[in-house]
Amino acid sequence: MIALTRRYAFPAAHALRHPAFSEEENRRVYGKCANPGGHGHDYGVEVTVTGPVNERAGRLIDPALLDEIFEENIRSRFSHRLLNDDPIFRERVPTAENLAEVIYAGLAEPVAERSTARVVGVRVVETHRNAFAYGDYGEPG
């Protein structure tokens, strides 16, 4: 199996607050990240795809196509925005864990429709200490 991982970045802000929690519970669960004003990150995103290599082109997917799909479906939607304002985060807290899952879901169908590749993983790097992966990475351990 061959896989390609492509790296992207975009700045965005979020406030980690669950609408069903009291102010005190939000502060207990999310600490300073529960600040109603939010805070920002320069998110790094790694998208991993796999599939058959096109014998003629010698490529799994044209990287420019993957870039285009990422731009259309992810960066244009989330870059320079407060994630809490996006409808997808109305019912879920915009943690980096949830962001990784949302990005995966947002790329899986367009990649499959426009190529023979399939998305197998998305890794969101939130800070120099925190990175979160979603996809077919196997069992942790």
Catalytic residues: 33, 80, 126
* DSSP conformation letters of 102-133: HHHHHHHHHHHHHSS-EEEEEEEE-SSS-EEE
3-class SS of residue 8 = strand
- Alpha-carbon distance of 60 to 24, in angstroms, equals 50
66 touches 111 (CB < 8 A): yes
**Looking at residue 80, what DSSP letter applies?**
T
**In one letter, which amino acid is 123?**
R
